[in-house]
Structure 1
Amino acid sequence: MENLRVGVINLGCDKNRIDSEIIIGSLSEKYNMTNDPKLADIILVNTCGFIESSKQESIDTILEMSKYKEKYKCKVLIATGCLTQRYGKELLELMPELDIMLGVNDYNKLLSSIEEVLLKKIKIQYCNYSDENINEGKRVLTTATYSAYIRISEGCDNACTYCAIPNIRGKYRSRKMENILQEAKELSEHGCKEIILVAQDTTRYGIDLYGKKSLHILINKISKISGIQWIRVLYCYAEEITDEIISEISSNNKVCKYIDIPIQHISDDILKLMKRKGRKKVITENISKMRKSIKGLTLRTTLIVGFPGETEENFEELKQFIKDTKFDKLGVFKYSMEDGTEAAEMKNQIPEEIKVKREEELMILQQNISKEINKNKIGKIYKVLVDGLDGKTYYGRNYEMAPEVDGTVFFESDKLYNRGEFVKVKVVKALEYDLIGVVYYESCK
């Protein structure tokens, strides 16, 4: 069985990606890995179950992979992750093609489950949830080696009425700081230059283990690791950002002046219905404080439109807030009715066509704001992390750009640059989300 090949397909968020990398790390100790499902004896799909579109993508992917059992080598089809944790036995009954189904805390049973299925030709299901366990272990990066996500906590204690994550991932629990630092050190030793800290809420890191918010302490300790040049922080609750966090981001040269604050809405009426802790006054005050304290700050947020009960007045208030605040980066999601959430039972559900219209309005508004912001960058010089080469054009990111969700810096050069190398680029043209530049000088450290 040691010569069998395994293919892993990851769906969903960056936290799911980390789980997949831990899964690959575990499987690669016994099996050969392959990116081609036609060559795989075992196929594992790590599913997402957050919103309706991601659930459908997960189901479609499982069904697609099930065809490889008929046409190619696949002997064992496995589903793991949020969808399986959320729907358990129901999913196994609906999809008899599956041989193994594991929840989000069952990865330690993966190797023994595969062996049992191969030997006994049976089906196996575990969806046991532990509010103590956090998936940790050897990772095999599926991103480029120079940039990696690190999960600093698992689960969530916030009871947002639209969100199923607490039911899937359990209560909030921080990872031990020494484990995170060891992981960052190992990643650095393998060439990682950019560390991206993620959690359902990074601002609460350490409150359960150390009795106080400790994100600023963690950031400072990571910055002392040789080789790490950029530290990026995602998923901060605006109302939870402390003066200590602001000070650390402002003063620490290794920390990207970039904060992701997914506020979801600004109308107090809707924030109350969502059971969000923050309110408009605190959110706007903290945004103002961050911008005053952190020179060159890039602020990113995500918003939900079409939440049950969202009136035209609520939506207009949100639009005006976007116009006034001028976020550097902004994403918009249509509200998705999720099983088992309070919001799914609320009255005044918004018709889909209104959700679509409101999403489009906000994205057009943000596109114009982004273009104006980018125009002011013409002539500026940025340190750019090279992500690749397309023909004669290099592409990469400056500190203002997180992987996959933000824009890109494009530039041409006769000199050969490697992925993961830093280059200084002068902006000569601005698009809605992307920047075009020229190499300012040969390279930078």
Structure 2
Amino acid sequence: MKTKTLRKDKVNIITLGCSKNMVDSEVLSGQLMANEIDVVHENKKKDHNIVIVNTCGFIDKAKEESINTILDQVELKRKGKLDKVYVTGCLSERYKQNLETEIPEVDAFFGTMELPLVLKQFEADYKAELVGERLLSTPKHYAYLKISEGCNRTCSFCAIPLMRGQHVSKPIEQLVEEAKGLVRKGVKEVMLIAQELTYYGLDIYKKRDLPRLMHALADVEGLEWIRLHYAYPHKFPLEILDVMKERPNICNYLDMPLQHASDNMLKAMKRQITQRDMEELIDQIRTKIPDICLRTTLITGFPGETRQDVEDVKSFLEKHRFERVGIFTYSHEEGTSAYELEDTLSSEEKEARAQEIMEVQQEISYEKNQEKLGKTFKVIVDKKEAGRYIGRTEFDSVEVDNEVIIQSAKPLKPGEFVQVKISKAYDYDLEGEVVTTA
């Protein structure tokens, strides 16, 4: 494509938001590379002349970050440091017309499913034969594997279906080939992601087929860890646990966002489940896999939330003692059914409630970490930072969970597995020494 300069185009992709967005950016990068276009992720050298901002539109904070990032890039273009600025992703999908009016300096806006149109800006063709080929933005030893797109759920707070559309599963054969390709690149751990993992297969196989996919991926040689993210609790397919128990390379880890624990809030959120249902499911999961790591996500400050609802969440956490918990404050999103409700709580009160709940979880996390003292765990080395090696156990996912500070007498490499004996335990992290290679 023609630009203001004579130098060869170099594209920098800035990714905001979730891991699903990251995969989209990696796929876009792979397509650009296949068309002989120089592309990088989050370029620190600043020797690029074109920027693509892959935006998030999930909640207010994410939208604000996306808009600020776009404005920063537009300012660089105004100063002559960039030739082109393109915007894609969820924010662009949802607010394209508004953005075109408010930020006309952007050269083009694209939705979440318009990859071929993005490529046309570079006089590049979408290459169908490259399905699964990606330029990884993660360290080469782990990657995210998106098994489906979109969501059919109708949670009252969530705008994802407005931005990502209805649920569409990828065929098992395609996902296996993607996984094999990732292993060839050096990947040892994949994190299965989707808006809703347990819905997998209903559209193309007419049944919930995540267990069969798990078996197929577990057969991929060289794939040492497979991790499950974003499993919806309603109609949870318990066969998942049988596969987890049977296949050693599937981590004893389950990310199951519950969003709340009060029946009043669960009903208002249209979660299709009660507190008792969730408790029964948790009991079934822990009975089948006693040493499983359960991660959940909660929302505080939903319209109508009372002090009693907050107390219900705290009691629920104290009773079920999740290994990992994340909290969002409610964001009032246009187009969702909850938008019709009055958002009465201030952002300060929402944050205060979130902090109150996390203080309960912090104590639980500390106590659970103390139980690990003197025990030895298989740990994957992620990086070396400030002279120390940092890694994770099978009970910890990337960025959102605990880390292990590793003491080692010999040099270690990212992606290497080692056995680490835990000598210190903190609220959210562990520390230990390598006893032997895994």
Q: How much does 1:136 deviate?
A: 4.8
- 1:368 matches 2:363: yes
- 1:264 matches 2:259: yes
Q: How much does 1:8 deviate?
A: 0.6
Of 9, 13, 30, the residue aligned with 1:8 is 13
Q: Which amino acid aligns with 2:244?
A: I
SS at match of 1:38: coil
Aligned to 2:295: 300
Aligned to 2:29: 24
Aligned to 1:121: none
SS at match of 1:92: helix
Of 245, 256, 270, the residue aligned with 1:250 is 245
Q: Which amino acid aligns with 2:96?
A: G
SS at match of 1:28: helix
Cα distance between partner residues in 2 of 1:208 and 1:272: 26
Q: How much does 1:233 deviate?
A: 0.3
Of 89, 94, 98, the residue aligned with 2:102 is 94
Aligned to 1:104: 112
Aligned to 2:189: 194
Per-residue deviation, residues 310-364 of structure 1 (Å, max 9, x unmatched): 1111111111111111110001111111111121220363232321221110111
Q: How much does 1:269 deviate?
A: 0.9
- 1:352 matches 2:358: no
Aligned to 2:410: 415
TM-score (norm 2): 0.94
SS at match of 2:234: helix
Q: How much does 1:238 deviate?
A: 2.0
Aligned to 1:81: 89
Q: How much does 1:68 deviate?
A: 1.9
Q: How much does 1:400 deviate?
A: 0.7
Q: For the Cα contact (< 8 Å) 2:332–2:343, is it kept in 1?
A: no
Q: How much does 1:84 deviate?
A: 0.3
Q: How much does 1:33 deviate?
A: 2.1
Change (3 A) 1:136 1:11: farther
Cα distance between partner residues in 1 of 2:259 and 2:14: 29
- 1:160 matches 2:155: yes
- 1:145 matches 2:133: no
Cα distance between partner residues in 2 of 1:190 and 1:353: 45
Cα distance between partner residues in 2 of 1:164 and 1:141: 27
Q: Which amino acid aligns with 2:103?
A: M
Q: For the Cα contact (< 8 Å) 2:133–2:181, is it kept in 1?
A: no
Q: How much does 1:37 deviate?
A: 7.0
TM-score (norm 1): 0.93
Q: For the Cα contact (< 8 Å) 1:7–1:36, is it kept in 2?
A: no
Cα distance between partner residues in 2 of 1:286 and 1:209: 27
After TM superposition, the structure 1 = structure 2 runs for residues 265-280 of structure 1, keeping only pairs within 5 Å, are 265-280=260-275
SS at match of 1:428: strand
Structure 2 unmatched runs, 5+: 2-6
SS at match of 1:241: coil
Q: For the Cα contact (< 8 Å) 2:132–2:177, is it kept in 1?
A: no
Mean Cα deviation higher: 412-421 or 369-378: 412-421
Cα distance between partner residues in 1 of 2:399 and 2:289: 24
Cα distance between partner residues in 1 of 2:273 and 2:244: 21
Aligned to 1:129: none
Aligned to 1:123: none
SS at match of 2:46: helix
Per-residue deviation, residues 181-216 of structure 1 (Å, max 9, x unmatched): 110011111111101100011011101111111111
Aligned to 2:4: none
Of 40, 57, 72, the residue aligned with 1:64 is 72
Cα distance between partner residues in 1 of 2:228 and 2:343: 36
Q: How much does 1:137 deviate?
A: 4.3
Q: How much does 1:115 deviate?
A: 4.2
Q: For the Cα contact (< 8 Å) 1:37–1:43, is it kept in 2?
A: no
SS at match of 1:439: strand
Cα distance between partner residues in 1 of 2:245 and 2:291: 9
Aligned to 1:33: 39
After TM superposition, the structure 1 = structure 2 runs for residues 50-61 of structure 1, keeping only pairs within 5 Å, are 50-61=58-69
Q: How much does 1:295 deviate?
A: 3.3
SS at match of 1:39: coil
Per-residue deviation, residues 371-411 of structure 1 (Å, max 9, x unmatched): 00000000111110001112431110000100010010001
Q: For the Cα contact (< 8 Å) 1:38–1:72, is it kept in 2?
A: no
Change (3 A) 1:149 1:51: same
Q: How much does 1:72 deviate?
A: 4.2
RMSD: 1.6
Cα distance between partner residues in 2 of 1:62 and 1:136: 29
After TM superposition, the structure 1 = structure 2 runs for residues 284-363 of structure 1, keeping only pairs within 5 Å, are 284-347=279-342, 349-363=344-358
Q: For the Cα contact (< 8 Å) 2:85–2:107, is it kept in 1?
A: yes
Q: For the Cα contact (< 8 Å) 1:395–1:410, is it kept in 2?
A: yes
Per-residue deviation, residues 75-132 of structure 1 (Å, max 9, x unmatched): 110000000000011111100120011100111112212449xxxxxxxxxxxxxxxx
Q: For the Cα contact (< 8 Å) 2:147–2:200, is it kept in 1?
A: yes
SS at match of 1:357: helix
Mean Cα deviation higher: 383-392 or 280-289: 383-392
Q: Which amino acid aligns with 1:273?
A: A
Mean Cα deviation higher: 374-383 or 35-44: 35-44
SS at match of 1:238: coil
Q: Which amino acid aligns with 2:56?
A: C
Q: How much does 1:242 deviate?
A: 1.8
Per-residue deviation, residues 22-49 of structure 1 (Å, max 9, x unmatched): 1111112331124147321211000000
Per-residue deviation, residues 138-188 of structure 1 (Å, max 9, x unmatched): 211000111010011110011111110011101111111111111001111
Q: For the Cα contact (< 8 Å) 1:257–1:295, is it kept in 2?
A: no
Change (3 A) 1:348 1:393: closer
The list of structure 1 runs, each at least 4 consecutive aligned residues, that deviate by more than 3 angstroms after superposition, is none
Q: Which amino acid aligns with 2:280?
A: E
